[in-house]
Amino acid sequence: MRFFASLVLAGAMLTLGTSCDGTISVVFATGPQEFQVDTSELDLPTAFRDDDGNIRSVPCGPMGMCPPTETVTLTCEAGACDPAPKTVSAPVGGVIDVDELLSETREVIASVDSYTFEEIRYEVPLNTLTFPVNEVEIFWGPEAATAIDPELGVRRLGVVPAIGAGETPSGQVQIDAAGAQELSDYLVDRGRRVRFFAQTVVDLDPGDPFPAGEIRTSVNVTVRAVGSII
Protein backbone atom coordinates (compact mmCIF):
# COMPACT_ATOMS: atom_id res chain seq x y z
CA MET A 1 0.00 0.00 0.00
CA ARG A 2 1.52 3.32 -1.04
CA PHE A 3 0.56 6.85 -0.06
CA PHE A 4 0.89 9.59 -2.69
CA ALA A 5 0.71 13.16 -1.41
CA SER A 6 -0.32 16.29 -3.30
CA LEU A 7 -1.36 19.80 -2.31
CA VAL A 8 -4.72 20.68 -3.84
CA LEU A 9 -4.92 24.33 -2.75
CA ALA A 10 -4.30 25.88 0.63
CA GLY A 11 -6.62 28.87 0.52
CA ALA A 12 -7.77 30.96 3.46
CA MET A 13 -11.48 31.68 3.72
CA LEU A 14 -11.06 34.64 6.07
CA THR A 15 -13.77 35.72 8.51
CA LEU A 16 -12.96 38.57 10.91
CA GLY A 17 -14.56 39.32 14.27
CA THR A 18 -13.73 41.78 17.04
CA SER A 19 -14.54 41.80 20.75
CA CYS A 20 -14.75 44.45 23.47
CA ASP A 21 -11.51 43.27 25.09
CA GLY A 22 -9.45 44.61 22.20
CA THR A 23 -8.87 41.28 20.49
CA ILE A 24 -9.72 40.16 17.00
CA SER A 25 -10.42 36.65 15.72
CA VAL A 26 -9.85 35.33 12.23
CA VAL A 27 -11.28 32.07 10.92
CA PHE A 28 -9.42 30.47 8.03
CA ALA A 29 -8.96 27.04 6.43
CA THR A 30 -5.91 25.21 5.18
CA GLY A 31 -7.70 24.00 2.06
CA PRO A 32 -7.98 20.27 1.21
CA GLN A 33 -4.77 18.31 1.77
CA GLU A 34 -4.84 15.06 -0.21
CA PHE A 35 -3.30 11.64 0.11
CA GLN A 36 -3.85 8.60 -2.07
CA VAL A 37 -3.40 4.96 -1.15
CA ASP A 38 -2.91 1.98 -3.44
CA THR A 39 -2.02 -1.65 -2.76
CA SER A 40 1.49 -1.75 -4.21
CA GLU A 41 2.96 -2.40 -0.74
CA LEU A 42 0.54 -5.29 -0.17
CA ASP A 43 1.62 -7.24 -3.22
CA LEU A 44 0.98 -10.76 -1.96
CA PRO A 45 2.39 -13.66 -4.00
CA THR A 46 -0.07 -14.97 -6.59
CA ALA A 47 -0.04 -18.32 -4.74
CA PHE A 48 -2.11 -16.59 -2.05
CA ARG A 49 -4.96 -15.66 -4.40
CA ASP A 50 -7.95 -17.99 -4.60
CA ASP A 51 -9.97 -18.37 -7.76
CA ASP A 52 -12.85 -16.61 -5.97
CA GLY A 53 -10.71 -13.49 -5.42
CA ASN A 54 -9.98 -14.04 -1.71
CA ILE A 55 -6.72 -14.60 0.15
CA ARG A 56 -6.01 -18.32 0.13
CA SER A 57 -5.22 -20.16 3.34
CA VAL A 58 -1.73 -21.52 2.64
CA PRO A 59 -0.44 -24.11 5.13
CA CYS A 60 2.78 -23.27 6.93
CA GLY A 61 5.88 -25.21 5.94
CA PRO A 62 8.22 -27.20 8.20
CA MET A 63 8.85 -25.55 11.58
CA GLY A 64 6.16 -22.97 10.83
CA MET A 65 8.01 -21.43 7.91
CA CYS A 66 6.18 -19.25 5.36
CA PRO A 67 7.48 -18.13 1.95
CA PRO A 68 9.44 -14.85 2.00
CA THR A 69 7.98 -11.76 0.32
CA GLU A 70 9.48 -8.33 -0.37
CA THR A 71 6.45 -6.33 0.76
CA VAL A 72 4.52 -8.19 3.48
CA THR A 73 5.73 -10.31 6.39
CA LEU A 74 3.98 -13.69 6.62
CA THR A 75 3.64 -15.40 10.01
CA CYS A 76 2.35 -18.85 10.85
CA GLU A 77 -0.99 -18.52 12.67
CA ALA A 78 -3.03 -21.65 13.51
CA GLY A 79 -1.12 -23.62 10.88
CA ALA A 80 -1.70 -21.11 8.04
CA CYS A 81 0.47 -18.32 6.65
CA ASP A 82 -1.10 -15.01 7.67
CA PRO A 83 -0.04 -11.53 6.43
CA ALA A 84 1.22 -9.66 9.49
CA PRO A 85 -0.31 -6.25 10.29
CA LYS A 86 1.55 -3.51 8.44
CA THR A 87 1.83 0.14 9.48
CA VAL A 88 1.72 2.52 6.53
CA SER A 89 2.48 6.24 6.82
CA ALA A 90 3.22 9.16 4.52
CA PRO A 91 3.02 12.96 4.23
CA VAL A 92 -0.34 14.56 3.49
CA GLY A 93 -0.49 17.53 1.15
CA GLY A 94 2.26 20.15 1.27
CA VAL A 95 3.71 22.60 3.76
CA ILE A 96 1.08 24.79 5.46
CA ASP A 97 2.32 28.39 5.80
CA VAL A 98 0.07 30.09 8.37
CA ASP A 99 1.62 33.52 7.80
CA GLU A 100 0.73 33.25 4.13
CA LEU A 101 -2.83 32.16 4.92
CA LEU A 102 -3.20 35.19 7.22
CA SER A 103 -1.45 37.62 4.87
CA GLU A 104 -4.67 39.60 4.23
CA THR A 105 -4.97 40.41 7.95
CA ARG A 106 -1.52 41.93 8.51
CA GLU A 107 -2.91 45.45 8.59
CA VAL A 108 -5.38 44.68 11.41
CA ILE A 109 -3.72 42.01 13.59
CA ALA A 110 -0.66 42.99 15.64
CA SER A 111 0.08 39.43 16.78
CA VAL A 112 -1.69 36.08 17.23
CA ASP A 113 -2.02 34.87 20.82
CA SER A 114 -3.75 31.52 20.22
CA TYR A 115 -5.09 29.16 17.58
CA THR A 116 -8.19 27.01 18.01
CA PHE A 117 -8.83 24.12 15.63
CA GLU A 118 -12.57 24.34 15.26
CA GLU A 119 -13.11 21.60 12.71
CA ILE A 120 -11.25 19.08 10.61
CA ARG A 121 -13.29 17.58 7.79
CA TYR A 122 -12.36 14.61 5.67
CA GLU A 123 -13.68 13.54 2.28
CA VAL A 124 -13.15 10.34 0.29
CA PRO A 125 -13.93 11.12 -3.37
CA LEU A 126 -12.51 7.82 -4.68
CA ASN A 127 -12.40 4.34 -3.16
CA THR A 128 -11.98 1.15 -5.18
CA LEU A 129 -10.23 -0.83 -2.41
CA THR A 130 -11.43 -4.40 -1.94
CA PHE A 131 -10.88 -4.26 1.84
CA PRO A 132 -11.78 -1.80 4.63
CA VAL A 133 -9.34 0.79 5.92
CA ASN A 134 -8.80 0.97 9.67
CA GLU A 135 -8.78 4.32 11.47
CA VAL A 136 -6.35 6.77 9.89
CA GLU A 137 -4.40 8.91 12.34
CA ILE A 138 -3.54 12.45 11.22
CA PHE A 139 -0.35 14.01 12.63
CA TRP A 140 1.21 17.46 12.45
CA GLY A 141 4.88 18.30 12.56
CA PRO A 142 7.34 21.11 11.88
CA GLU A 143 8.24 21.83 8.27
CA ALA A 144 11.56 19.97 8.66
CA ALA A 145 9.92 16.74 9.88
CA THR A 146 10.30 13.87 7.40
CA ALA A 147 8.45 11.08 9.22
CA ILE A 148 6.08 10.38 12.12
CA ASP A 149 8.62 10.56 14.94
CA PRO A 150 8.12 12.29 18.32
CA GLU A 151 11.84 13.13 18.28
CA LEU A 152 11.14 15.29 15.22
CA GLY A 153 8.34 17.14 17.01
CA VAL A 154 5.52 15.22 15.31
CA ARG A 155 2.28 14.95 17.31
CA ARG A 156 -1.15 13.42 16.68
CA LEU A 157 -3.84 15.88 15.57
CA GLY A 158 -6.86 13.65 14.98
CA VAL A 159 -8.36 10.41 13.71
CA VAL A 160 -10.35 9.66 10.55
CA PRO A 161 -12.94 6.91 11.23
CA ALA A 162 -12.58 3.49 9.63
CA ILE A 163 -13.72 3.36 6.00
CA GLY A 164 -15.49 0.36 4.51
CA ALA A 165 -14.39 -1.27 1.26
CA GLY A 166 -15.61 0.82 -1.66
CA GLU A 167 -17.25 3.45 0.56
CA THR A 168 -16.78 7.20 -0.12
CA PRO A 169 -17.82 8.95 3.11
CA SER A 170 -17.17 12.45 4.40
CA GLY A 171 -17.41 13.84 7.90
CA GLN A 172 -15.59 15.06 10.96
CA VAL A 173 -12.12 14.06 12.08
CA GLN A 174 -12.00 13.39 15.81
CA ILE A 175 -9.58 16.05 17.07
CA ASP A 176 -6.89 15.12 19.60
CA ALA A 177 -7.17 17.93 22.17
CA ALA A 178 -3.61 17.57 23.46
CA GLY A 179 -2.11 17.50 19.98
CA ALA A 180 -4.18 20.51 18.91
CA GLN A 181 -3.02 22.50 21.94
CA GLU A 182 0.60 21.62 21.19
CA LEU A 183 0.10 22.79 17.60
CA SER A 184 -1.37 26.08 18.83
CA ASP A 185 1.60 26.60 21.16
CA TYR A 186 4.01 25.79 18.34
CA LEU A 187 2.40 28.28 15.93
CA VAL A 188 2.39 31.03 18.58
CA ASP A 189 5.92 30.55 19.92
CA ARG A 190 8.13 28.63 17.51
CA GLY A 191 7.12 28.46 13.87
CA ARG A 192 4.43 29.20 11.29
CA ARG A 193 5.10 26.45 8.77
CA VAL A 194 3.92 22.90 9.44
CA ARG A 195 3.07 19.75 7.54
CA PHE A 196 0.66 16.85 8.02
CA PHE A 197 1.15 13.07 7.98
CA ALA A 198 -1.23 10.12 7.84
CA GLN A 199 -0.83 6.64 9.31
CA THR A 200 -2.93 3.49 9.39
CA VAL A 201 -2.50 -0.23 10.06
CA VAL A 202 -3.51 -2.78 7.41
CA ASP A 203 -4.32 -6.25 8.76
CA LEU A 204 -5.35 -8.87 6.21
CA ASP A 205 -6.33 -12.48 7.00
CA PRO A 206 -6.82 -15.64 4.95
CA GLY A 207 -10.35 -15.55 3.54
CA ASP A 208 -10.38 -11.76 3.19
CA PRO A 209 -10.71 -10.23 -0.29
CA PHE A 210 -7.37 -10.17 -2.10
CA PRO A 211 -6.05 -6.58 -1.85
CA ALA A 212 -6.63 -4.42 -4.91
CA GLY A 213 -7.71 -0.89 -5.80
CA GLU A 214 -6.96 2.57 -4.43
CA ILE A 215 -8.44 5.28 -2.20
CA ARG A 216 -8.12 9.06 -2.29
CA THR A 217 -8.76 11.11 0.85
CA SER A 218 -8.43 14.78 1.81
CA VAL A 219 -8.51 16.68 5.10
CA ASN A 220 -9.32 20.36 5.53
CA VAL A 221 -8.57 22.14 8.82
CA THR A 222 -10.62 25.15 9.94
CA VAL A 223 -8.71 27.36 12.38
CA ARG A 224 -9.60 30.37 14.54
CA ALA A 225 -6.69 32.71 15.25
CA VAL A 226 -7.14 35.20 18.11
CA GLY A 227 -4.86 38.21 18.45
CA SER A 228 -4.49 41.87 19.24
CA ILE A 229 -5.80 44.67 17.06
CA ILE A 230 -3.21 47.02 15.62
pLDDT score for 130: 94
Least trusted range by pLDDT, from 63-67, 95-99, 218-222: 63-67
Least trusted range by pLDDT, from 44-48, 108-112, 130-134, 179-183: 108-112
Question: DSSP letter at 81?
Answer: E
Q: How far apart are CA 33 and CA 173, in angstroms?
A: 13
151 class by beta-carbon count within 10 Å (0-12 exposed, 13-18 middle, 19+ buried): exposed
State what percent of residues in the chain have pLDDT above 90: 63
3-class secondary-structure state, position 149: coil
